[in-house]
Amino acid sequence: MYKNTRSYGFRGRRNRPGPGFRANLSGKYINPARFINKPVEMSVANEYIPKFSFSDFNLNESLLQNIIKKGYKNPTPIQDQAISPIMNGRDVIGIANTGTGKTAAFLVPLINTMHADRQMKTLIVAPTRELALQIRDEFLSFTEGSNLSPVLIIGGTNIQRQVGRLRRDYNIVIATPGRLLDLVKRNSINLSRFTKIVLDEVDRMLDIGFIHDVKRIISYLPKNRQSLFFSATVGNREEEIIKSFVSNPIKFELTRRETAETVEQDVVRVQPPLSKLDTLHDILIKEEVKKVLIFGKTKWAVDKLSKRLVERGFKAGTIHGGKSQNHRQSTLDDFKENRITILTATDLASRGIDVDNITHVINYDLPQSWEDYIHRIGRTGRANKQGKALTFLE
């Protein structure tokens, strides 16, 4: 139970809920007991020991220096296992939890190949603008000092500028599905020219309705290509995509638990006469609560909550699909740089936000599904740091 607040968990018999409930009227059943989980203590005994160091991969010297500059010491499990096969041209299926370093697992070997072949074209497709921006930023940090050039193709930004950018020289396109297909229709991009393809966070793409778009994108790709598929989960829909996308792949499945091992999970039961907002206030003023991501179920709800928190003296901002891309990026930058310490968001933010040192994720409104819950709380407890996830129950 989350201690030292005036709200209560439900471990005791008195507060035990009934057989279960739905996340909301349209959501899927979630047993509330699943919101309680203690983190696994990291120890020398269970710490992953990589087979390779980054210097073992025979990387371009400029790339290797940028890896060192970023502070990467040893490859994560997905990087340790995937980098060599990708460098050798193999198709790869990588199944790994969020926060495990999978972006670098495909960027490092692809960038290394770009250094050797400047004419090669690479396409990365991601489900959200935020994730596409994160991948672009990672690419730029790995290619600092080189003249490798990315093109970012996302909605909410000027499409004519993107058309103009595609007319100049580039090495990699990082795109969201909808805007990418808009440019295909305009004949502004020819997907048959791309020989290296990454589908990232495929489960999320399919969750938000991009299955037909993904199939169309695959249909435009050349048959002779290297295909990389990354996802946190693989169900029937993902298997359908895999069959049409990869050829004789190597598969790495590194999801050890449904939820991150470094995240302590608990519930907060709102008890009258306190309101839900008052209960949240009591949590946010605690010393250990440094940087918080709060999830609500609607755009209106997270806007309202952010305003109420600002009125109470907190440094808060909000992002959701109704905000402009400039607003979303500016607010995320404020959150990253600690100009605000509380970010309220819809599930738009449960993927593609890579912000260091988020101490707490709070589910102010219940998630629509267990999968949404997993992705929400994956924003904390990253890079083997401890985090906390709290779910409100009324």
Residue 76 falls within a domain, yes or no? Answer: yes
Report how far apart, in Å, the C-alpha atoms of 125 and of each of 4, 70, 205, 230 are: 44, 24, 9, 11
Confidence of residue 28 (pLDDT cuts 50, 70, 90): low
Contact 306, 317 (CB under 8 A): yes
User: Is residue 20 predicted with pLDDT exceeding 90?
Assistant: no
Q: Can you give the pLDDT at residue 265?
A: 93
Contact 255, 379 (CB under 8 A): no
Q: Are residues 29 and 104 in the same domain?
A: no
**How far is 377 from 97, CA to CA, in rounded Å?**
11
DSSP state of 89: T
Q: Identify which has the larger pLDDT, 245 or 327.
A: 245
User: Is residue 276 predicted with pLDDT exceeding 90?
Assistant: yes
Residue 127 falls within a domain, yes or no? Answer: yes
Q: Are residues 345 and 365 in the same domain?
A: yes
Q: Are residues 279 and 366 in the same domain?
A: yes
Confidence of residue 355 (pLDDT cuts 50, 70, 90): confident
Residue 353: CB atoms within 10 Å: 23
Residue 56: CB atoms within 10 Å: 13
Domain end residue (candidates: 203, 230, 253): 253
Domain end residue (candidates: 228, 253, 278): 253
Q: Which has the minimum average pLDDT: 34-43, 73-82, 231-240?
A: 34-43
Q: How far apart are the first and last CA of the chain?
A: 15
**How far is 48 from 54, CA to CA, in rounded Å?**
15
Q: Are residues 124 and 35 in the same domain?
A: no
Residue 11 falls within a domain, yes or no? Answer: no
**How far is 127 from 230, CA to CA, in rounded Å?**
12
Single out the residue of 362, 381, 378, 380 nearest to residue 268, CA to CA.
362
Residue 265 falls within a domain, yes or no? Answer: yes
Q: Can you give the pLDDT at residue 18?
A: 38
Highest-confidence range of 22-26, 147-151, 365-369, by mean pLDDT? 147-151
Q: Which has the minimum average pLDDT: 11-15, 24-28, 183-187, 372-376?
A: 11-15
Q: Are residues 221 and 178 in the same domain?
A: yes
Residue 69: CB atoms within 10 Å: 12
Residue 16 falls within a domain, yes or no? Answer: no
Q: How many domains does the chain have?
A: 2
Across residues 137-161, what is the average pLDDT? 94
Q: Are residues 136 and 27 in the same domain?
A: no
Residue 177 falls within a domain, yes or no? Answer: yes
Average pLDDT, the chain: 86
Across residues 283-292, what is the average pLDDT? 95
Q: Which has the minimum average pLDDT: 232-246, 346-360, 365-379?
A: 346-360
Q: Can you give the pLDDT at residue 288?
A: 94
Contact 121, 178 (CB under 8 A): no
Residue 8 falls within a domain, yes or no? Answer: no
Q: Are residues 120 and 216 in the same domain?
A: yes
User: Is residue 317 predicted with pLDDT exceeding 60?
Assistant: yes
Q: Are residues 269 and 217 in the same domain?
A: no
Q: Are residues 210 and 320 in the same domain?
A: no
Predicted model pTM? 0.73
Q: Can you give the pLDDT at residue 15?
A: 37
As a whole-number percent, the residues of the chain with pLDDT over 90 amount to 62
Q: Can you give the pLDDT at residue 16?
A: 38
Contact 34, 370 (CB under 8 A): yes
Both structure tokens of 197: 């393809």
Helical (H) or strand (E) element with 389: strand 387-393
Q: Which has the minimum average pLDDT: 32-46, 252-266, 376-390?
A: 32-46
Q: Are residues 241 and 342 in the same domain?
A: no
Q: Are residues 178 and 82 in the same domain?
A: yes
User: Is residue 126 predicted with pLDDT exceeding 50?
Assistant: yes
**How far is 63 from 367, CA to CA, in rounded Å?**
40
Domain end residue (candidates: 208, 226, 253): 253
Range of the domain at 358: 21-40+258-393
Burial 162-172 (b: 16+ CB within 10 A, else e): bbebbeeeebb
As a whole-number percent, the residues of the chain with pLDDT over 70 amount to 87
Tens-place pLDDT, residues 176-207: 999 999 999 999 999 999 999 999 999 888 87
User: Is residue 12 predicted with pLDDT exceeding 50?
Assistant: no
Return the CATH number at 198: 3.40.50.300
Q: Are residues 106 and 193 in the same domain?
A: yes
Q: Identify which has the larger pLDDT, 219 or 4.
A: 219
Residue 14 falls within a domain, yes or no? Answer: no
